[in-house]
Amino acid sequence: MKWRKYMDKYEITDELLFKHCSNVENFILEQIPDEEDIDYEYPKEFEKKIKKIIKEEKRGPFLNKIYSYTKKIAVVFIAFLISLFTITMSVDALRTKLFDMVKDVYEKFTIYKFKIDENDNEKVNFLEHKSINYLPNGFKEVKRAEHNNDIAITYSNGEDYVTLNYLLIENNNLYMDTENAKISKVKIGSYDADYIEKENKIRLVWQDENTLYDLKLDYINKEKYLDFKSELVKIAKNIN
């Protein structure tokens, strides 16, 4: 057969496949319609959740401007389904005493999904206030935002910023921008934490039995810190 002769003539290697994967992905993405051309009606339950997110968006930096990007997310999700073979995804599931947490790691972002057992008699309904007992020299509190069970506190030395955002774990999702970020694991006491390094920002994300923590350092001059990873971990270990 002609196709057989053609295949025998050209050896298909892993290197060749990887080389042309991006071309295939670009071709697939070009077939996706513009968001203006997508006529999709969201379920009423989804619309209610989005309105709730908008209402709670003022709570702090934890929730991004999700509603204005819902159509774009729908388009991206279609792309994920079509070109799944070009996207690296891993799922890490963890069962704790009071809640289920599933972490979905995609190419450009990470989703932390939490689900509470509403029938658990030990479920905590209030957020315990926390404080930081260690900060680098010159840092002091410059901003605080509290809304129900979500608190964000920002500290600054006039140039760099340390922000602690912590909230009660409930039935919700946390979307984290991790595109081109370096992610590794560290220990905060007895808890596993994600250490995320991207551009001029480093952060730690972890949770205990009831609370989710997002601690980040925005810096201008990297050379100022001898080891900013150890510095951030030290701050995290001094939260109580």
- List, for residues 46-94, the tens digit of each pLDDT value: 666 666 666 655 555 544 544 444 455 554 554 554 444 333 333 333 3
pLDDT value at position 170? 74
Distance CA 1, CA 50 (A): 57
Q: 33-37, long-range: CB within 8 Å, 24+ apart, which pairs?
A: 33/75, 34/75, 35/71, 35/72, 35/74, 35/75
CB 120 within 8 A of CB 218: no
Longest CA–CA separation in the chain, Å: 76
Closest C-alpha among 126, 148, 142, 140 to residue 58: 148
Q: How large is the angle between the packed helices 14-30 and 70-82, nearest 10 degrees?
A: 140
Residue 111 β-bridge partners: 104, 175
Cβ atoms of 106 and 175 within 8 Å: the answer is: no
The CATH H-level superfamily of 124-240 is: MucB/RseB, C-terminal domain (3.30.200.100)
More reliable by pLDDT, 128 or 118: 128
More confident residue, 223 or 31: 223
- What whole-number distance in Å separates Cα of residue 35 and Cα of residue 47? 18
Inter-CA distances, 25 with 6, 20, 109, 207, Å: 24, 9, 18, 36
Task: Write down the domain spans for the chain.
Answer: 1-87, 124-240
- Sequence-separated (6 or more) residues with CB below 8 Å from residue 99: 114, 115, 116, 117, 169
pTM (predicted TM-score): 0.55
Q: How confident is the model at residue 185 (pLDDT cuts 50, 70, 90)?
A: very high
What pLDDT, in 10s, does the model give residues 6-48? 445 555 555 555 555 556 555 665 666 655 555 556 666 766 6
Asked if 103 and 172 count as a contact pair (C-beta separation under 8 A), the reply is no
| Bridge partners, residue 197, by sequence | 182, 202
